[in-house]
Structure 1
Protein backbone atom coordinates (compact mmCIF):
# COMPACT_ATOMS: atom_id res chain seq x y z
CA UNK A 1 0.00 0.00 0.00
CA UNK A 2 2.18 2.81 1.21
CA UNK A 3 5.67 2.71 2.48
CA UNK A 4 8.01 5.20 3.98
CA UNK A 5 11.61 5.17 2.85
CA UNK A 6 14.36 6.58 4.98
CA UNK A 7 17.57 8.03 3.69
CA UNK A 8 20.74 7.16 5.43
CA UNK A 9 22.10 9.95 7.55
CA UNK A 10 25.65 10.92 6.70
CA UNK A 11 28.19 11.91 9.27
CA UNK A 12 28.43 15.60 9.53
CA UNK A 13 31.15 16.58 11.95
CA UNK A 14 30.61 19.75 13.77
CA UNK A 15 27.32 20.61 12.14
CA UNK A 16 23.83 20.55 13.44
CA UNK A 17 22.03 17.37 13.29
CA UNK A 18 19.32 17.55 10.68
CA UNK A 19 16.00 15.79 10.74
CA UNK A 20 15.79 12.71 8.66
CA UNK A 21 14.11 13.27 5.29
CA UNK A 22 11.25 10.89 4.84
CA UNK A 23 9.97 10.01 1.38
CA UNK A 24 6.55 8.42 0.85
CA UNK A 25 5.54 6.22 -2.02
CA UNK A 26 1.86 5.37 -2.50
CA UNK A 27 0.96 2.26 -4.42
CA UNK A 28 -1.93 3.21 -6.78
CA UNK A 29 -2.63 -0.32 -8.01
CA UNK A 30 -5.64 -1.01 -5.73
CA UNK A 31 -7.21 2.36 -6.59
CA UNK A 32 -6.85 1.73 -10.32
CA UNK A 33 -8.36 -1.74 -9.87
CA UNK A 34 -11.31 -0.26 -8.01
CA UNK A 35 -11.82 2.43 -10.68
CA UNK A 36 -11.94 -0.17 -13.45
CA UNK A 37 -14.30 -2.38 -11.44
CA UNK A 38 -16.67 0.56 -10.93
CA UNK A 39 -16.40 1.58 -14.57
CA UNK A 40 -17.18 -1.95 -15.71
CA UNK A 41 -20.08 -2.23 -13.26
CA UNK A 42 -21.72 1.01 -14.44
CA UNK A 43 -21.20 0.21 -18.11
CA UNK A 44 -22.86 -3.18 -17.74
CA UNK A 45 -25.79 -2.02 -15.61
CA UNK A 46 -26.86 1.08 -17.57
CA UNK A 47 -29.62 1.04 -20.12
CA UNK A 48 -29.09 2.91 -23.34
CA UNK A 49 -31.67 5.38 -24.60
CA UNK A 50 -34.01 3.75 -27.04
CA UNK A 51 -34.55 5.74 -30.23
CA UNK A 52 -37.99 7.25 -30.66
CA UNK A 53 -39.72 5.93 -33.73
CA UNK A 54 -42.97 7.04 -35.23
CA UNK A 55 -45.17 4.13 -36.16
CA UNK A 56 -47.22 4.57 -39.30
CA UNK A 57 -49.91 2.27 -40.57
CA UNK A 58 -50.07 2.39 -44.31
CA UNK A 59 -53.36 1.78 -46.14
CA UNK A 60 -53.93 -0.93 -48.67
CA UNK A 61 -52.40 -0.02 -52.01
CA UNK A 62 -54.64 1.07 -54.92
CA UNK A 63 -57.69 1.59 -52.70
CA UNK A 64 -59.07 5.11 -52.52
CA UNK A 65 -61.05 6.24 -49.53
CA UNK A 66 -63.51 9.05 -50.19
CA UNK A 67 -63.19 12.06 -47.91
CA UNK A 68 -66.08 14.39 -47.17
CA UNK A 69 -65.62 18.07 -47.97
CA UNK A 70 -66.71 19.12 -44.49
CA UNK A 71 -64.49 16.63 -42.68
CA UNK A 72 -61.19 17.45 -44.37
CA UNK A 73 -58.28 19.75 -43.73
CA UNK A 74 -55.57 20.12 -46.36
CA UNK A 75 -52.00 21.05 -45.43
CA UNK A 76 -49.57 22.04 -48.18
CA UNK A 77 -45.88 22.17 -47.29
CA UNK A 78 -44.31 25.09 -49.10
CA UNK A 79 -40.99 26.80 -49.67
CA UNK A 80 -39.07 28.26 -46.72
CA UNK A 81 -40.64 26.00 -44.06
CA UNK A 82 -44.05 27.56 -44.64
CA UNK A 83 -47.23 25.64 -44.00
CA UNK A 84 -50.27 26.52 -46.10
CA UNK A 85 -53.60 25.12 -45.02
CA UNK A 86 -57.28 25.32 -45.77
CA UNK A 87 -60.37 23.52 -44.55
CA UNK A 88 -62.05 21.21 -47.02
CA UNK A 89 -60.90 20.00 -50.40
CA UNK A 90 -59.65 21.97 -53.36
CA UNK A 91 -62.20 21.18 -56.05
CA UNK A 92 -62.21 24.07 -58.57
CA UNK A 93 -64.22 22.07 -61.11
CA UNK A 94 -67.17 21.82 -58.70
CA UNK A 95 -68.91 25.21 -59.01
CA UNK A 96 -71.19 24.55 -56.01
CA UNK A 97 -68.23 24.68 -53.63
CA UNK A 98 -66.53 28.01 -52.99
CA UNK A 99 -62.77 28.29 -53.45
CA UNK A 100 -60.95 27.51 -50.21
CA UNK A 101 -59.46 30.31 -48.12
CA UNK A 102 -55.73 29.60 -47.99
CA UNK A 103 -53.91 30.54 -44.78
CA UNK A 104 -50.17 30.41 -44.09
CA UNK A 105 -48.39 29.62 -40.85
CA UNK A 106 -45.16 28.03 -39.59
CA UNK A 107 -44.09 25.03 -37.53
CA UNK A 108 -43.81 27.15 -34.37
CA UNK A 109 -45.77 26.12 -31.27
CA UNK A 110 -48.37 28.83 -31.95
CA UNK A 111 -48.55 27.92 -35.65
CA UNK A 112 -49.89 24.75 -37.21
CA UNK A 113 -50.11 22.95 -33.86
CA UNK A 114 -52.67 25.41 -32.52
CA UNK A 115 -54.66 25.23 -35.76
CA UNK A 116 -54.75 21.42 -35.56
CA UNK A 117 -55.75 21.43 -31.89
CA UNK A 118 -58.57 23.94 -32.44
CA UNK A 119 -59.88 22.10 -35.49
CA UNK A 120 -59.65 18.76 -33.64
CA UNK A 121 -61.84 20.17 -30.86
CA UNK A 122 -64.43 21.35 -33.38
CA UNK A 123 -64.35 18.19 -35.47
CA UNK A 124 -62.81 15.12 -33.76
CA UNK A 125 -63.16 12.83 -36.81
CA UNK A 126 -61.31 15.16 -39.15
CA UNK A 127 -59.08 13.78 -41.92
CA UNK A 128 -55.87 15.72 -42.58
CA UNK A 129 -54.45 15.60 -46.13
CA UNK A 130 -50.73 16.41 -46.22
CA UNK A 131 -49.39 17.53 -49.58
CA UNK A 132 -45.65 18.25 -49.81
CA UNK A 133 -44.63 20.52 -52.67
CA UNK A 134 -41.41 20.28 -54.67
CA UNK A 135 -39.95 23.27 -52.77
CA UNK A 136 -40.53 21.74 -49.33
CA UNK A 137 -37.73 20.03 -47.43
CA UNK A 138 -37.63 16.56 -45.91
CA UNK A 139 -37.46 18.16 -42.46
CA UNK A 140 -40.86 19.77 -43.15
CA UNK A 141 -42.35 16.32 -43.70
CA UNK A 142 -40.83 15.03 -40.46
CA UNK A 143 -42.08 18.11 -38.59
CA UNK A 144 -45.65 17.78 -39.85
CA UNK A 145 -45.72 14.07 -38.97
CA UNK A 146 -44.49 15.00 -35.49
CA UNK A 147 -47.31 17.55 -35.23
CA UNK A 148 -49.82 14.85 -36.18
CA UNK A 149 -48.47 12.71 -33.36
CA UNK A 150 -48.40 15.57 -30.83
CA UNK A 151 -51.96 16.66 -31.59
CA UNK A 152 -53.23 13.05 -31.59
CA UNK A 153 -54.69 13.14 -35.09
CA UNK A 154 -56.27 9.78 -35.83
CA UNK A 155 -56.58 10.04 -39.61
CA UNK A 156 -54.09 11.71 -41.90
CA UNK A 157 -52.73 10.87 -45.30
CA UNK A 158 -49.81 11.84 -47.51
CA UNK A 159 -51.27 12.86 -50.85
CA UNK A 160 -49.65 13.99 -54.09
CA UNK A 161 -49.99 17.69 -54.70
CA UNK A 162 -52.19 18.62 -57.67
CA UNK A 163 -51.85 21.41 -60.19
CA UNK A 164 -54.91 23.08 -58.63
CA UNK A 165 -53.12 23.17 -55.28
CA UNK A 166 -50.01 24.66 -56.89
CA UNK A 167 -52.02 27.44 -58.51
CA UNK A 168 -53.71 28.07 -55.16
CA UNK A 169 -50.39 28.59 -53.32
CA UNK A 170 -48.63 30.39 -56.21
CA UNK A 171 -49.71 33.92 -55.19
CA UNK A 172 -48.85 33.15 -51.54
CA UNK A 173 -45.28 32.04 -52.23
CA UNK A 174 -44.19 35.06 -54.30
Structure 2
Protein backbone atom coordinates (compact mmCIF):
# COMPACT_ATOMS: atom_id res chain seq x y z
CA UNK A 1 0.00 0.00 0.00
CA UNK A 2 0.98 3.61 0.21
CA UNK A 3 3.71 4.48 2.58
CA UNK A 4 5.30 7.67 3.69
CA UNK A 5 9.08 7.65 3.51
CA UNK A 6 10.59 10.32 5.69
CA UNK A 7 14.22 9.65 4.99
CA UNK A 8 16.73 9.57 7.84
CA UNK A 9 15.55 10.17 11.33
CA UNK A 10 16.25 13.65 12.65
CA UNK A 11 17.88 14.32 15.93
CA UNK A 12 21.28 14.74 17.52
CA UNK A 13 24.45 13.81 15.76
CA UNK A 14 26.94 14.36 18.30
CA UNK A 15 27.17 17.51 20.31
CA UNK A 16 26.20 20.94 19.43
CA UNK A 17 23.18 22.70 18.35
CA UNK A 18 20.08 20.80 17.63
CA UNK A 19 18.84 21.46 14.14
CA UNK A 20 15.86 19.87 12.66
CA UNK A 21 16.48 18.27 9.33
CA UNK A 22 14.23 18.87 6.38
CA UNK A 23 12.17 15.80 5.86
CA UNK A 24 11.73 14.44 2.36
CA UNK A 25 8.26 13.02 1.99
CA UNK A 26 7.51 10.53 -0.76
CA UNK A 27 4.14 8.87 -1.38
CA UNK A 28 4.10 5.55 -3.21
CA UNK A 29 1.32 5.86 -5.84
CA UNK A 30 1.72 2.45 -7.45
CA UNK A 31 -1.53 1.11 -6.06
CA UNK A 32 -3.47 4.17 -7.19
CA UNK A 33 -2.10 3.89 -10.75
CA UNK A 34 -3.05 0.21 -10.83
CA UNK A 35 -6.55 1.05 -9.65
CA UNK A 36 -6.89 3.82 -12.26
CA UNK A 37 -5.94 1.46 -15.09
CA UNK A 38 -8.35 -1.17 -13.80
CA UNK A 39 -11.19 1.38 -13.75
CA UNK A 40 -10.34 2.67 -17.23
CA UNK A 41 -10.27 -0.88 -18.57
CA UNK A 42 -13.55 -1.71 -16.86
CA UNK A 43 -15.38 1.33 -18.29
CA UNK A 44 -13.93 0.83 -21.76
CA UNK A 45 -15.16 -2.76 -21.87
CA UNK A 46 -18.60 -2.14 -20.38
CA UNK A 47 -19.54 1.12 -22.14
CA UNK A 48 -21.47 0.84 -25.36
CA UNK A 49 -20.18 3.15 -28.05
CA UNK A 50 -22.52 5.09 -30.32
CA UNK A 51 -24.60 2.68 -32.32
CA UNK A 52 -24.67 3.12 -36.09
CA UNK A 53 -27.89 4.52 -37.45
CA UNK A 54 -29.23 2.75 -40.47
CA UNK A 55 -32.34 2.79 -42.56
CA UNK A 56 -34.20 -0.46 -43.13
CA UNK A 57 -34.14 -1.29 -46.79
CA UNK A 58 -36.11 -4.30 -47.96
CA UNK A 59 -34.57 -5.84 -51.04
CA UNK A 60 -35.98 -8.75 -53.01
CA UNK A 61 -34.08 -11.99 -53.36
CA UNK A 62 -31.78 -11.99 -56.36
CA UNK A 63 -33.04 -14.33 -59.03
CA UNK A 64 -31.06 -14.34 -62.28
CA UNK A 65 -33.76 -16.30 -64.12
CA UNK A 66 -36.50 -13.81 -63.31
CA UNK A 67 -36.89 -11.57 -66.35
CA UNK A 68 -40.53 -10.65 -65.96
CA UNK A 69 -41.36 -7.09 -66.85
CA UNK A 70 -43.65 -5.27 -64.48
CA UNK A 71 -46.18 -2.93 -66.08
CA UNK A 72 -47.26 0.08 -64.05
CA UNK A 73 -49.53 2.99 -64.75
CA UNK A 74 -47.31 5.75 -66.15
CA UNK A 75 -49.51 8.36 -64.46
CA UNK A 76 -48.24 7.04 -61.12
CA UNK A 77 -44.54 6.82 -62.01
CA UNK A 78 -41.79 9.38 -61.44
CA UNK A 79 -38.24 8.45 -62.44
CA UNK A 80 -35.31 10.09 -60.64
CA UNK A 81 -31.78 9.84 -62.06
CA UNK A 82 -29.04 10.70 -59.53
CA UNK A 83 -26.01 12.41 -61.02
CA UNK A 84 -22.74 14.08 -60.18
CA UNK A 85 -22.47 17.29 -58.08
CA UNK A 86 -25.73 16.66 -56.17
CA UNK A 87 -27.87 17.04 -59.29
CA UNK A 88 -31.02 15.10 -60.16
CA UNK A 89 -32.86 14.59 -63.47
CA UNK A 90 -36.49 13.62 -63.07
CA UNK A 91 -39.43 12.99 -65.34
CA UNK A 92 -43.02 11.90 -64.90
CA UNK A 93 -44.31 8.85 -66.72
CA UNK A 94 -42.37 7.27 -69.55
CA UNK A 95 -39.48 9.07 -71.18
CA UNK A 96 -40.72 8.13 -74.65
CA UNK A 97 -44.03 9.88 -74.02
CA UNK A 98 -43.28 12.89 -71.84
CA UNK A 99 -46.13 14.57 -70.08
CA UNK A 100 -47.68 17.59 -71.80
CA UNK A 101 -46.09 20.18 -69.54
CA UNK A 102 -42.44 19.44 -70.11
CA UNK A 103 -39.33 17.39 -70.61
CA UNK A 104 -37.01 15.88 -68.02
CA UNK A 105 -35.83 18.55 -65.61
CA UNK A 106 -32.65 19.02 -63.60
CA UNK A 107 -33.06 19.85 -59.92
CA UNK A 108 -31.21 19.55 -56.60
CA UNK A 109 -31.98 18.09 -53.19
CA UNK A 110 -33.88 19.58 -50.28
CA UNK A 111 -36.92 21.72 -49.70
CA UNK A 112 -36.49 23.83 -52.84
CA UNK A 113 -35.35 20.83 -54.88
CA UNK A 114 -36.85 17.38 -55.39
CA UNK A 115 -39.13 17.72 -52.37
CA UNK A 116 -40.99 20.59 -54.05
CA UNK A 117 -41.69 18.22 -56.95
CA UNK A 118 -42.62 15.10 -54.98
CA UNK A 119 -44.94 16.55 -52.32
CA UNK A 120 -47.63 17.89 -54.70
CA UNK A 121 -47.42 14.78 -56.89
CA UNK A 122 -47.99 12.40 -53.97
CA UNK A 123 -51.34 14.10 -53.37
CA UNK A 124 -52.32 14.67 -57.01
CA UNK A 125 -51.66 11.08 -58.12
CA UNK A 126 -54.15 9.76 -55.56
CA UNK A 127 -56.70 12.24 -56.94
CA UNK A 128 -55.99 11.27 -60.57
CA UNK A 129 -56.13 7.51 -60.02
CA UNK A 130 -59.03 7.73 -57.58
CA UNK A 131 -57.56 4.91 -55.52
CA UNK A 132 -55.88 5.61 -52.17
CA UNK A 133 -54.09 2.27 -52.28
CA UNK A 134 -52.42 3.05 -55.60
CA UNK A 135 -50.11 5.93 -54.75
CA UNK A 136 -47.04 7.31 -56.45
CA UNK A 137 -44.17 5.06 -57.54
CA UNK A 138 -40.68 6.56 -57.67
CA UNK A 139 -37.95 4.77 -59.60
CA UNK A 140 -34.51 5.81 -58.32
CA UNK A 141 -31.65 5.29 -60.76
CA UNK A 142 -28.21 6.17 -59.38
CA UNK A 143 -25.43 6.71 -61.94
CA UNK A 144 -21.81 5.68 -61.46
CA UNK A 145 -20.89 9.30 -60.68
CA UNK A 146 -23.47 9.70 -57.89
CA UNK A 147 -22.32 9.19 -54.32
CA UNK A 148 -23.65 7.12 -51.45
CA UNK A 149 -24.68 10.39 -49.78
CA UNK A 150 -26.88 11.15 -52.80
CA UNK A 151 -28.66 7.82 -52.42
CA UNK A 152 -29.19 8.36 -48.70
CA UNK A 153 -30.47 11.89 -49.38
CA UNK A 154 -33.03 10.69 -51.93
CA UNK A 155 -34.18 7.92 -49.56
CA UNK A 156 -34.62 10.58 -46.86
CA UNK A 157 -36.72 12.59 -49.31
CA UNK A 158 -38.89 9.50 -49.92
CA UNK A 159 -39.51 9.26 -46.16
CA UNK A 160 -40.19 12.99 -45.78
CA UNK A 161 -42.61 13.07 -48.73
CA UNK A 162 -44.25 9.82 -47.59
CA UNK A 163 -43.86 8.17 -50.99
CA UNK A 164 -45.57 4.78 -50.59
CA UNK A 165 -43.57 2.85 -53.19
CA UNK A 166 -40.07 3.39 -54.51
CA UNK A 167 -37.43 1.19 -56.08
CA UNK A 168 -33.70 1.47 -56.67
CA UNK A 169 -32.86 0.33 -60.19
CA UNK A 170 -29.43 0.21 -61.79
CA UNK A 171 -30.49 -0.41 -65.39
CA UNK A 172 -30.91 2.45 -67.84
CA UNK A 173 -32.75 2.55 -71.14
CA UNK A 174 -30.77 4.19 -73.99
CA UNK A 175 -32.78 7.41 -73.59
CA UNK A 176 -32.19 7.45 -69.83
CA UNK A 177 -28.48 6.79 -70.39
CA UNK A 178 -28.32 9.92 -72.57
CA UNK A 179 -29.92 11.90 -69.74
CA UNK A 180 -27.45 10.44 -67.24
CA UNK A 181 -24.48 11.31 -69.48
CA UNK A 182 -25.83 14.83 -69.90
CA UNK A 183 -26.26 15.13 -66.13
CA UNK A 184 -22.72 13.92 -65.39
CA UNK A 185 -21.05 16.16 -67.98
CA UNK A 186 -18.41 18.42 -66.46
CA UNK A 187 -19.39 22.05 -66.43
CA UNK A 188 -16.48 24.26 -67.51
Does residue 142 of structure 2 align to residue 132 of structure 1? yes
Query: Offset at 1:27?
Result: 1.2
Structure 1 residues 31-69: Cα deviation after superposition (integer angstroms, max 9, x where no partner): 123212312321232123333333332346433322212
- How far does residue 149 in structure 1 lie from its aligned partner after superposition? 4.5
Q: Where does 1:89-100 land on structure 2 (aligned, <5 Å)?
A: 89-92=94-97, 98=100, 100=102
Q: TM-score, normalised by structure 2?
A: 0.67
- Cα displacement string for residues 72-123 of structure 1 (whole angstroms, at most 9, x for unaligned residues): 111111233211112222123x8xx537432322234543345434433544
C-alpha separation in 1, matches of 2:49 and 2:181? 47
3-state secondary structure, aligned to 1:164: helix
Q: Secondary structure at the match of 1:43?
A: helix
Q: Please, which runs of 5 or more residues in structure 1 have no aligned partner?
A: none
| Mapping for residues 1-174 of structure 1, pairs under 5 Å | 1-7=2-8, 8=10, 18-59=19-60, 61-92=66-97, 98=100, 100-108=102-110, 110-123=112-125, 125-149=135-159, 151-159=161-169, 160-167=171-178
Distance in 2 between residues matched to 1:103 and 1:25, nearest whole Å: 78
Is the 1:87–1:100 Cα contact (8 Å) retained in structure 2? no
Task: Call closer, same or farther: CA 1:138–1:38 in 2, change over 3 Å.
Answer: closer
Q: How far off is 1:146 after superposition?
A: 4.2
Please say if residues 90 and 99 of structure 1, whose CA atoms lie closer than 8 Å, have aligned partners that are also in contact. no
Bigger proportion of residues as strand: 1
Alpha-carbon shift at residue 23 of structure 1 (Å): 0.8
SS of residue in 2 equivalent to 1:70? coil
> RMSD in angstroms over aligned alpha carbons?
3.4
Aligned partner of residue 33 in structure 1, secondary structure: helix
Q: Which runs of 5+ in 2 are unaligned?
A: 127-134
SS at match of 1:104: strand
In 2 relative to 1, CA 152–36 (structure 1 residues): closer, same or farther, beyond 3 Å? farther
The answer as to whether partners of 2:11 and 2:20 remain within 8 angstroms in 1 is no
TM-score (norm 1): 0.71
